[in-house]
Chains A and B, each alone.
Chain A
């Protein structure tokens, strides 16, 4: 198969062997599990259980109310302790609502779970998609976008190609590698189900060439007569080939339009872990309650891959990897290029947790003093989006948010290549995040201001109308007073009113002659 190139990228040391040397270790059930309600892109799920309630393994404990959302299932059986804010693995470091589950140690499955479907080929796309949603499946490559949504292309978008993203291009991460080696049949079955669901004509299964064992395992598990339909493709190990758009470019030579989706090209891209989860949901009726996580880096004693329940604290995973190295000082969820540092290892594994990377000060030494940009252009050379990072930096620094958007800020995928090659040690990605957030914040402000202005203008309009009405009323009254009304009815009314006023006046004068009244009482006119 003829492969293509994308601009830029980096050949980084893989550091894959550290964690693939030891077998996959299924972790036990922790005593307390913190299961966040928002583990995915989209609205948080709404709890279906109450504190004190006993829940069973696989039971849906929180429900996605929005289309873009994912259900949450109990990873084991036990008692709901509370539903409260706890720290979750998120770049903000903030807390978010979690269902805290105290395991009862029985690990008892619910009997009201999903029915295993061995006859999935007889089922329609809608039914299968519903199953994917019921199982709470999200993209397991890290982005955690609800898979059922991704498998439901907009009307009129015909999907002809399913791309399986087994690139795993970030250094250190080997959870997909492990999965493909360990469960090649299950992954391929997931491929078949999703291809069937999408009615795809072909499947391109891409694996970076630094994972020959995974490639071999898949090749061995793939029947001869299916090789036309499912093509295993070994692709060069260049970071960030695993970016969806970069991978599609490598495999097909096509570029997903900047403001579009792969579906615009008739392509849907899925991670092998997601496909395995789809297969487990369909064939075995299992919701997504566990995943493989790589625990690696020079900051842990025995790097390896573990299979952990969602909600297991990071600390348990590290303990399973032999514990920390003595002087560990950084724990990252994800890879070294795009992962984010975690402040506390009490946070739980979520559906998007692919890797825990621990490092020591000497592994990520403080990068020399910050120097001015010398416009060397290295960042331009490595940018996979073909941007001009040095110019974006300039505009971000100057707060020139119009120019920075014109230069394609929102095409930046924050892969980090530019920052890694920068000789001036400029944290470029931080500047881009800052600019993006600033623009979003301004957009929100603007919307708020628009709303406020609309409200104000409406209020002013209303007031003007009221003023006008008042003035009109007044004018009518004045007119009525000034000249005798032409119509009898009105005249009679005015006469009557004047009569009343006169009577009142006389009464008042009679009552208190010492308080003269200069004007007629107009209160009832």
Chain B
């Protein structure tokens, strides 16, 4: 009797790239819902639009590159990139901000570098940084957190209308419905000469940061822990990033609590949590050795603090991630694990 011959192993892999990506999507759900609850329908509108744009650009690029479109789309990586990008965009941003961001994320950062697995930079962060530096006004319009069913909350239709036209409905003013995010407030007030203590006495602050941001962060943390539990990500990057951010922030805070915000504020504000668990852990653009991942995470934590404290932007996670993306191959080279049976690391 004749048989087919294949090489070992003769077991079928239990995971797939699509499976991994979908786990990331599930883990994003609670945080995204919390964000929607506090910042309105715009969050869901943004996620939906960005995912549609990202998948559309992905399909276009894959078709242009003459690759199997359906197989490639089924890996869901474009959905993840679009979704993560959308979470960085203010809920009332006009649709074209999302379009431009998705274009740069998928077309430029991903496919021009060779597609999934070959992009040196995190696509979602490239998309975000492009719109951040190109459209500073649109990117700063964060609504004041309230519950989605609050008296002043915008309805879904109103939100869609704002997204599509870029104009507010009659009777509403941008100044009235938007408010500086805690990081913005902290930065601008410190520059204006206020102390941290005075700033955090502002009623928008909850226990560490602003209530809405805190809860959003908590639920992204929950998703992140689930990813750890499911072994989709390893602990190295999130732990080292948050620990470094907290340690460095703590050091300055202990020295001068009037001028530097507390470590808890840093960890629970802005993109720190979602960055640690969902963005910095993008395996393609991150370091891949265990020690390299610790250094990579630590670098992001440190750079985030530096950019937030002395840089030109209120949050620094996106820039920190992109800067560390550049370092990742070098980190990998110098942090190779000691091979079994070798006396010590041959590469110092």
Residue among B13, B75, B343 with most chain A CB within 10 A:
B13
A411 touches B13 (CB 8 A): no
Residues of A within 8 A of B9 (CB): 336-338, 416, 419-420, 429
Q: Is the interface of A mostly helix, strand, loop or mixed?
A: loop
Q: Is A512 an interface residue (CB 8 A)?
A: no
Minimum CB–CB distance from B78 to chain A (whole Å) comes to: 13
Assess A423 versus B288: contact at CB under 8 Å? Given A374-B117, A429-B8, A430-B7.
Answer: no
Within 8 Å by CB of A330, from B4, B19, B283, lies B4
Once bound together, how far apart are the Cα atoms of A340 and B8, in whole Å? 6
A425 touches B290 (CB 8 A): no
Residues of A within 8 A of B77 (CB): 374
Contact with A along B1-30 (1 / 0, CB 8 A): 111111111111111110110000000000
Minimum CB–CB distance from A436 to chain B (whole Å) comes to: 13
Q: Is A421 an interface residue (CB 8 A)?
A: yes
A-B contact pairs, 12 of them (CB 8 A): A7-B337, A171-B11, A255-B341, A328-B3, A332-B10, A342-B5, A371-B16, A376-B283, A391-B332, A414-B8, A416-B11, A430-B7
Once bound together, how far apart are the Cα atoms of A364 and B9, in whole Å? 10
Minimum CB–CB distance from B115 to chain A (whole Å) comes to: 7
Q: Is B286 an interface residue (CB 8 A)?
A: yes
Once bound together, how far apart are the Cα atoms of A29 and B22, in whole Å? 56
A336 touches B10 (CB 8 A): yes
B residues within 8 Å of A by Cβ? Answer: 1-17, 19-20, 68, 71, 75, 77, 115-118, 231, 234, 283-284, 286, 288-290, 293, 332, 336-343
Assess A337 versus B16: contact at CB under 8 Å? Given A345-B1, A372-B115, A374-B117.
Answer: no
Instruction: Closest B residue to A414 by CB, please name it.
Output: B8
CB contacts under 8 Å to B, within A90-123, are 91, 93
Interface size class of A (residues with CB under 8 A): 35 or more
Q: Is A39 an interface residue (CB 8 A)?
A: no
Instruction: Closest B residue to A299 by CB, please name it.
Output: B3
Residues of A within 8 A of B2 (CB): 343-344
Instruction: Closest A residue to B118 by CB, please name it.
Output: A372
Once bound together, how far apart are the Cα atoms of A463 and B118, in whole Å? 56
Residues of B within 8 A of A343 (CB): 2-3, 5
Minimum CB–CB distance from A202 to chain B (whole Å) comes to: 23
Residues of B within 8 A of A373 (CB): 117
Residues of B within 8 A of A160 (CB): none
B288 touches A387 (CB 8 A): no
**5 closest Cβ contacts across the A-B interface?**
A372-B117, A416-B9, A258-B341, A423-B15, A341-B5
Minimum CB–CB distance from A370 to chain B (whole Å) comes to: 9
Within 8 Å by CB of B337, from A344, A386, A420, A433, lies A386
Assess A374 versus B13: contact at CB under 8 Å? Given A258-B341, A388-B336.
Answer: no
Residues of A within 8 A of B284 (CB): 374-375
Residues of B within 8 A of A385 (CB): 339-341
Residues of B within 8 A of A387 (CB): 337, 339
Residues of B within 8 A of A408 (CB): 339, 342
Once bound together, how far apart are the Cα atoms of A197 and B342, in whole Å? 30
Once bound together, how far apart are the Cα atoms of A91 and B332, in whole Å? 35
B10 touches A341 (CB 8 A): yes
B3 touches A423 (CB 8 A): no
Once bound together, how far apart are the Cα atoms of A315 and B284, in whole Å? 47
Minimum CB–CB distance from A339 to chain B (whole Å) comes to: 6
Q: Is A424 an interface residue (CB 8 A)?
A: yes
Given A388-B288, A433-B7: 5 more A-B contacts, CB < 8 Å: A258-B342, A377-B293, A388-B289, A388-B332, A414-B8
Residues of B within 8 A of A359 (CB): 10
Assess A341 versus B20: contact at CB under 8 Å? Given A258-B341, A421-B14.
Answer: no
B117 touches A364 (CB 8 A): no
Residues of B within 8 A of A380 (CB): 288-290, 337
Residues of B within 8 A of A6 (CB): 340
Q: Is A407 an interface residue (CB 8 A)?
A: yes
Within 8 Å by CB of A374, from B17, B336, B342, lies B17
Residues of B within 8 A of A364 (CB): 10-12
Residues of A within 8 A of B12 (CB): 364-365, 367
Residues of A within 8 A of B17 (CB): 371, 374, 423-424
Residues of A within 8 A of B289 (CB): 377, 380, 388
Within 8 Å by CB of B234, from A331, A381, A391, lies A381
Once bound together, how far apart are the Cα atoms of A257 and B343, in whole Å? 7
Minimum CB–CB distance from B74 to chain A (whole Å) comes to: 8
Minimum CB–CB distance from A362 to chain B (whole Å) comes to: 10
Within 8 Å by CB of A256, from B4, B5, B293, B341, lies B341
Q: Is A378 an interface residue (CB 8 A)?
A: yes
Assess A369 versus B71: contact at CB under 8 Å? Given A332-B10, A377-B288, A380-B289.
Answer: yes
A374 touches B7 (CB 8 A): no
